[in-house]
Amino acid sequence: MDMSSFWRTPGRATLRDIALVCVADALVGASFGAVAVSGGLPLWVPVAMSLLVFAGGAQFAALGVALAGGAPLAAVATGLVLNARHLPFGLAVADVLSGPRWARLLGSHLMTDETVAFTLRHDDPARRRATYWLSGLALFAVWNLSVLLGALGAHAIGDVNALGLDAAFPAVLLALVLPALADRATRRTALLGALIAVATTPFLPPGLPVLLALLALAPTLLRPRTPT
């Protein structure tokens, strides 16, 4: 397969959705860079964190701990809790991470919620692999560039919270999820997961309610499959 056909393999709808998420990612990344620098951190900190960690939610959580005066270990622990969801994600997309060790390491580093979600849309191995790598590389490039630009323009932006950039990302994700909610079983599972997350948020550290929301999948996974 040549490179041009490789990039077309995911399909037009998936490519469109990846582009939409990249736009939202750029807004959130710029916000992260601006918040970090305006909070007093040197420019290299958000840039290095984005390159080495590449996990938006974990980065924001760690940044919040750091700007609040928390210990570095507390910031790291917060990020690790949030990223614990990548363990089941890795099992779900293990087939696309085959190959040399360097490729598996790079692929693991590119793993995000969005990349896994796009990959799980497809059953065909070639399409899954192309979708994963295209989404992962595109999001990595957009996120790191936007973080750098946001950090460089921190003083010009002023109050980044007033811009509401943090709302752009969940808004785009909600738009992508809505079509799947037409299915009754999917809608019921999503509602149960949301209720679990909301109910446990006041009592648990950040990140754990999201992990507990995965319990909503249990009825679906345990339900006997009817032969087709």
Q: For residue 116, give both structure tokens.
A: 């896994």
The more confidently predicted of residues 148 and 27 is 148
What per-residue confidence (pLDDT) applies to 223? 61
What per-residue confidence (pLDDT) applies to 227? 47
Residue 228 has pLDDT above 50, yes or no: no
Q: What would the mean pLDDT of 166-171 be, rounded to a whole number?
A: 57
Average pLDDT, the chain: 77
Lowest mean pLDDT among 92-106, 122-136, 208-222: 208-222
Residues 6+ apart with CB under 8 A from 187: 181
The backbone torsions φ and ψ at residue 203, rounded to the nearest 5 degrees and listed phi first, read -110, -15
Lowest mean pLDDT among 12-26, 36-50, 85-99: 85-99
Q: What would the mean pLDDT of 60-78 be, rounded to a whole number?
A: 71
What per-residue confidence (pLDDT) applies to 141? 95
What per-residue confidence (pLDDT) applies to 139? 93
Total-model pTM: 0.69
What per-residue confidence (pLDDT) applies to 171? 61
Residue 35 has pLDDT above 90, yes or no: no
The backbone torsions φ and ψ at residue 70, rounded to the nearest 5 degrees and listed phi first, read -70, 160
How many C-beta atoms surround the C-beta of residue 165 within 10 A? 21
User: Which whole-number Å values give the CA distances from 115 to 60, 130, 183, 190, in the listed order?
Assistant: 19, 11, 22, 19
pLDDT digits (tens, 9 = 90+) for 114-154: 888 888 888 888 888 889 999 999 999 999 999 999 888 87
Going from N- to C-terminal start, the domains of the chain cover: 3-181, 183-228
User: Which whole-number Å values give the CA distances from 151 to 142, 174, 178, 227, in the listed order?
Assistant: 14, 27, 33, 55
What per-residue confidence (pLDDT) applies to 144? 94
